[in-house]
Structure 1
Amino acid sequence: MNANSKIFDRIRVRPDRDAEAKSRAPRCQWDGCSEPGLHRAPVGRMKEGEYFRFCIDHVRAYNKGYNYFSGLGDNDIARFQKEALTGHRPTWVMGINGSAKSSPDFAAKRSGRAGYYSRVRDPFNLFGEDKPRPQPQRKARPLEAKALETLGLDEKATGADIKARYKELVKRHHPDANGGDRGSEDRFRDVLQAYRVLKQSGFC
């Protein structure tokens, strides 16, 4: 084997990165230790973001005895744990505020009196009342108005009215019921088209 070969000249040795990191690392902060401090350990409560630098052996020893709540009483620890649930941000009781508690309706609402709920608007029928809500009157566009006129109805007609009128006119003007009358066939086609327009517009 020739050690002076051109092949050996091209071999590159990867630098020892661990040795490089150790040479740049600060010294371990444990008393009496001269090893490089490659590992971080938290300083303690109220000093978040600050760290000690220890070697591997001393960071393990430090973490074994580390207590974030050292010096706090049981009540303080319980309060901290409760506040940690919301990220230590303030919270309020949902749906209740000072002005609502002071209002005269608040006592009636808490008592569950039916009179209170009868005065409350319920546009989405959340309280399950059986009274039907008034439907807003829909303004028909020109094409829809013409379709209603073809069926012999006005803008106040409901979906049920439109369907009933459609069935009646189809039975009356169907070609099989009129012996192939051309006029009746045209009227039948107009009825089908009018019903299709109203259905696509959401009238029925």
Structure 2
Amino acid sequence: MDLNSPLFDRIRVKPAKSAPEKPKAKILCSHPGCQEEGVFRAPKGREREGEYFTFCKDHVREYNATYDYFKGMDDESMAKFRQADAIGHRPTWKLGDRAAASHVDETVFAEARAARRRGLKGKAPQTEAAPRYNALALKALMTLELDGQATQARIKARYKDLVKRHHPDANGGDRSSEDKLREIIQAYNYLRANKLV
């Protein structure tokens, strides 16, 4: 941004007028007989959610020490409240207990499941088209002793099998097939680099 631009020369911002602060009304402590300022808020209780007392520091400490949200509730009511609180007091129901579920015709689903088991889905089952490979990919497949019809899963399985067979650790340290192993790894890396595996 060019600070010397003539476009920004004409922009003027007036400073905010400082208004005199209005004196706040002094809120007295809610404790009977106390004339100190009530600065601290304390909840009024379970039946009066969202409402607060205002206490001075000494009386809020006294109130908090004796405050019990569950005062007057029996153990069963407290357990129900805590369970409902875990889900935010929202309504819940058991699966399948709703009225809409009782009007469903089960034969529709039974027929669909039976058709699926028989293989009658309305469409002919689609066979996987054989992948097409270029000349280098075919050469890599031949190194892995596969033909041009090989699937990704078959290529991976064959690669693992050949690596296990030609690896020096699997042959008791014999390094005679090390060149073959190198060719297999290079062929697989080529297929992987071209996203064929």
Short-chain TM bin: 0.3 to 0.5
**Hey, which of these two has a bigger chunk of helix by percent?**
1
Q: Rg bigger for which structure?
A: 1
When the two structures are superposed, what TM-score results if normalisation uses the length of structure 1? Answer: 0.43
